[in-house]
Amino acid sequence: MSEGDGVVAAECENGFWGARAKGGSASDPAIAPDGKLQPGRNRVPAESLDPALVVRAYREGLFPMAMEDGRIGWFSPDPRGVVPLEVFHVPARLARVVRAGRFAVEIDRAFPEVMRQCAQRPDDGTWISDAIIECYTALHRLGLAHSVETWREGRLVGGLYGVHLGGAFFGESMFHRETDASKVALVALVDRLRRRGFALLDVQWVNPHLVQFGAVDIPRAEYRRRLKHALARDCSFR
C-alpha cells in the first residue's frame, strides 16, 4: 500500500478498508414485497435510501453501496471481515508515530468533509455517491454515524467514518493525505471502542492492510451471532 500526499487511495478505495466488490462473496439483497431485506439480485433506487432503512439493514447484517447505474446495492459478505478488539495489534513503527503526537485526533469535527474525501477516488468511480453522503450525513445528525479525524497544523489530513449501533461499530471508509494519518485514526477508534465497552468492529472485507492490525474473516453465521450480541449492548460513542 502506498501512502503520501495526493493519495486518498488504498485505505479508502472501494469501501472502508479495501475492494468492496472484489473481496469475498457478496449477496445483493433485494427488498421483498413484504418489506423484508433478503438475498436477491435487485437493487433499489437511490432516492429510496433513508436513515431508517440503513439502520434496519445494519441490524440485519447488510450494508449499502452505490452501483454504477446509480442504484443502491445491499451487501452481506460471506465471510465477513472483523477486527477483534481484544487482539487489535499496533505495529511498532505506528506505535511510535502515535506516541510522538504528530497528529491531533478529533471526533465528529468535520464528518461531511471526511465523507467527501473518502469519495474522491482517483480511478473509475466510487461507491460513495451523493445519495450515500446525504443519508450518512443524516445519520450523523441523528448521532448514529461518526468520524474519527486526524489534523495537522489546522488541516484535516486523514480520518475514517462509520455507523454506531449498540456495541457495534460498522467501519465504512477512510482516507489519508499524509503518511500514517488514517492509521492513527484507526488506532484512536479502537482505543475509544475498547474504553466504551464495544463488542464488534465490522470492517466488511479483510485485505492485507487490515491483516497487520489483526483483522480476520469469519463465517456469516458467526458474524450474525456476534452482531446480535453487540447490538444488545448500550454503548455511547461520544
What is the domain extent for residue 56? 30-75
Q: Is 151 found in the same domain as 70? A: no
50 and 66, same structural domain?
Answer: yes
Whole-number pLDDT of residue 128: 92
Q: In this structure, is residue 57 part of a structural domain? A: yes
Residues 117 and 68 in one domain: no
**Cell 445491499 belongs to residue:** 74
Q: Which pLDDT does position 22 carry in this prediction?
A: 36
Domain count, the chain: 2
pLDDT value for 208: 87
Within this chain, do residues 217 and 137 fall inside the same structural domain, yes or no?
yes
Closest CA to 144 of 228, 17, 236, 226: 236
* 158 and 93 in a common domain: yes
Give the CATH number for residue 197: 3.40.630.70
- Check residue 48 and give its pLDDT: 75
Q: What pLDDT does 207 receive? A: 86
109 shares a domain with 71: no
Mark whether 132 and 216 lie in a shared domain: yes
Residues 112 and 87 in one domain: yes
Same domain, 43 and 84: no
pTM over 0.95: no
Buried b (16+ CB within 10 A) or exposed e, 13-27: bbbbbbebeebbebb
Residue 21 lies in a domain: no
Instruction: Supply the pLDDT for residue 37.
Output: 55
* Residues whose CB falls within 8 Å of the CB of residue 129, separated by 6 or more in sequence, listed in order: 46, 66, 70, 119
Q: Is residue 10 part of a domain?
A: no
Q: What is the pLDDT along the chain (238 residues), one digit of tens a residue?
A: 223 222 222 233 334 544 443 333 344 344 443 455 554 445 777 777 899 999 999 999 999 999 888 888 889 999 999 999 999 999 999 999 999 999 999 999 999 999 999 998 665 447 899 999 999 999 999 999 999 999 999 999 999 999 999 999 999 999 999 999 999 999 999 999 999 999 999 999 998 889 999 999 999 999 999 999 999 999 999 8
Give the pLDDT score at 192: 98
Give pLDDT, residue 118. Answer: 94
pLDDT of residue 81: 97
Domain shared by 145 and 172, yes or no: yes
Give dist(CA 70, CA 63) in Å, integer.
Answer: 16
Residues 71, 106, single domain; the answer is no
| pLDDT confidence of residue 127 | 87
Report if residue 70 sits inside a domain: yes
